[in-house]
Amino acid sequence: MKSIKFLAFLLTIITFASNSTLSASEPQLPRKTLGILAGYDTRNHSAEAGIFFQYRASKIVRIAPDLTYIARRKGTDALAINLNVHFPFAVSKSGRVNVYPLAGINYTSWNYHPGKMARSTDETDDVTRRDNKFGLNLGGGIDVLITSTLKLRFEGKWVGAKHTSTGDFAVGIGYAF
């Protein structure tokens, strides 16, 4: 819990201490993006799908929460909530292509569903078990502003949590405004 508080404090300092606010002399790029994502989770070896939002707080800081469902495979699925901070830097003069490292916090609820079980007289024989974990995210990505309102994103991250660490790889498409 201390590491989560420290990370939140650090992100707040970076966001508000940055004097690199967007200026009128720079290309006017969209400040917000809302979109969908699809990808692969290495812990469950299954597909994932979700929604994401990005808010460009300053030239060098972007807040990026997302909500992802990791599909069931071998009786296990999950719901993940991420609050990441991107530190984008342009790799093209127009600023339409950005590469970014990311750091953030994660909450994942892993669900374990039983297979076929012996019949019982009790109607409440669903013994689904949930494993709720907080963790840290580290990774990076690239996003490309295709048109003034269409953004593509490719991202990979490691989600570190006790006994449930995983790798997530996702591609997304979003509406930039």
Domains and CATH numbers, the chain: 2-14+31-114+128-176 (2.40.160.20)
**Distance from C-alpha of 79 to C-alpha of 82, rounded to nearest angstrom:** 10
Concatenated DSSP letters for 135-172?
EEEEEEEEEEE-SSSEEEEEEEEEEE-TTT-EEEEEEE
Instruction: With a cut of 70, say whether residue 2 has pLDDT above it.
Output: no
C-alpha–C-alpha distance, residues 144 and 23, integer Å: 21
Instruction: Give the pLDDT of residue 20.
Output: 46
Give strand ranges (E) for 14-61. 32-41, 46-56
Q: Strand 150-160 relative to strand 129-145: parallel, antiparallel, unpaired?
A: antiparallel
Task: Report which of 100, 103, 105, 108 is spatially closest to residue 83, judged by C-alpha positions.
Answer: 105
**Distance between CA atoms of residues 170 and 40, nearest Å:** 6
Say which residue the tokens 């460009």 belong to: 56
- Give the range among 53-62, 102-111, 127-136 with minimum mean pLDDT: 127-136
- Residues in contact with 130: Cβ distance below 8 Å, sequence separation at least 6, in sequence order: 109, 110, 111, 112
Taking only the tens place, the pLDDT of each residue in 6-60 is 656 655 655 554 444 444 445 567 899 999 999 999 999 999 999 999 999 999 9
The pLDDT confidence band at residue 113, using thresholds 50, 70 and 90, is confident
Q: Look at the alpha carbons of 140, 134, 11, 30 in this order and tell me if their dihedral is positive or negative.
A: positive
pTM over 0.85: no
Q: What own/partner pairs with CB < 8 Å and gap ≥ 24 does 126-131 have?
A: 131/163, 131/164
What is the average pLDDT across 84-106? 95
Cα angle 135, 60, 4; round to 5:
20
